[in-house]
Amino acid sequence: MNHGYARCSTNETKQDIDRQVRELKQAGAEDIFLEYEHGDAAVKCQLSSLLEQAQPGDTIITLEVSRLARSTKQLCEIIEIIKAKHLRLVIVGSITVDCSNGEIDPMTNAFIQMSGVFAELELRIIRERVRSGMANAKAKGAKIGRPQATADDIPAVFLRHYPAYKNEQLNLSELARVCDLSRTTVYKYIGLLER
């Protein structure tokens, strides 16, 4: 079976994953695992599921090495799994890593590792540019980061359910769920109210 893997770093409102899906289908992917997770995240749930479900002889198709990982170490770990499970990895328009016999030839192994080094380098360059741009903006007097929240910024839905939390009718997770907020945001709002 041909499995596709598409990944974007942020979320569907900030990045469109449709191009990857379209190109993976054109490359022969029969089912596609989608993920919104950073490239060097230690855990990528959909990629882990894909690697777990893949059977010997299956092919994993992705568009770029950087979709799998932006860490050379993680990429090498993925290649070891592909090798152990006797899979094929196709990087569309670039390289095919055929481990269907449980082995990987030295030239292919070297090329995929070099691709991983460049993916990691690209990430580090992007991060350095962002840091430099932020430092430059800060030097010019710009405020960096999210605006400081105040009690006036707390939404009405939170204020409506907060008394139930204070009376121990809701725990923190329940309060977050009924308000459709993250636990981190709930902690922040509680801190603002209890100062």
- Per-residue pLDDT of the chain (195 residues), as tens digits, is 999 999 998 776 677 889 999 999 999 999 999 998 888 788 899 999 999 999 999 999 999 999 999 889 999 999 999 999 999 999 999 999 999 999 999 999 999 999 999 999 999 999 999 999 999 999 999 988 878 888 888 999 999 999 999 999 999 899 999 999 988 899 999 999 887
First to last CA, the chain: 58
Q: Which domain holds residue 32?
A: 2-125
Which distant-in-sequence residues (6+ apart) come within 8 Å of 155 by Cβ?
179
Do 175 and 108 sit in the same domain of this protein? no
72-84 vs 106-139: helix axis angle to the nearest 10?
150
Report the predicted TM-score, pTM, of the whole model to 2 decimal places: 0.69
How many separate domains does the chain show? 2
Do 120 and 168 fall into the same domain? no
Residue 173 and residue 110 share a domain = no
Residue in the structure block whose two tokens are 């939390």 = 165
Spatial CA neighbour of 95 closest among 111, 106, 110: 111
- Please indicate, yes or no, if residue 157 is contained in any of the structural domains: yes
Residue 145 inside a domain? The answer is: no
Residues 26 and 119 placed together within one structural domain of the fold = yes
